[in-house]
Copies of this chain bind each other. A is one copy, B any other.
């Protein structure tokens, strides 16, 4: 009844790993980043020590959750942005913003884990760097296309040498060559994007902004204009 005996155990194992991560993810809600390995195990009706067959320590489980969160956000953004008409740069930007926000509202605790205060005592390993940069790569590709199509103009601007160098490094690390003047504007909008989501999610604008959908869209449209994507 099983196709490949060799992979039965492997498949069950993979499923179990998923189940453990899912249970742990659920517990992020109540315990925050102070993730409890025991609580997750209890949910699955297994003894806490059994988890060690799958993850060598609590921190490794946390790392898996973080990587998965980044990948999930990255994939969602890539997928949503990819279906927008390539020439509509403004809409590509707006869809990127909206997707990031929608993902964050859906999975607030994973947002907190990845974009909120760092977990005390936890040092993220290098494996998280690549997935973490996926959303930013989407922005970079929009900027690149804008340059290529001649929509984004490089208005001259006084930028200190140190910052020039930093921004060149950002471009280069992605294998891109967006001019620093444009990248500076892009980063500004990027910062406001995440600033907005943090404000909303962490309750810093409660009792002030009621219709966050409308407010967010308004501000992200202004960002598009600022970057120069309104063409």
Q: Which residues of A contact B (CB under 8 A)?
A: 29-34, 112, 115-121, 129, 159-160, 162-163, 165-166, 169-170, 173, 184-185, 187-188, 191-196, 198-199, 202-204, 207-211, 214-215, 218-219, 222-223, 226
Contacts of A29 in B (CB 8 A): 120
Q: Are A188 and B34 in contact (CB under 8 A)?
A: no
Closest chain B residue, CB of each to CB of A160: B214
Cα distance, A128 to B168, chains bound together (Å)? 42
A25 to chain B, nearest CB (A): 14
Smallest Cβ-Cβ distance to A124: which chain B residue: B203
**Please, which residue of chain B has its CB at the minimum distance from the CB of A119?**
B32
Contact A120 B30, beta carbon cutoff 8 Å: yes
Chain B proximity of A79: nearest CB distance (Å) = 23
- List chain B residues, Cβ under 8 A from A33: 32, 117
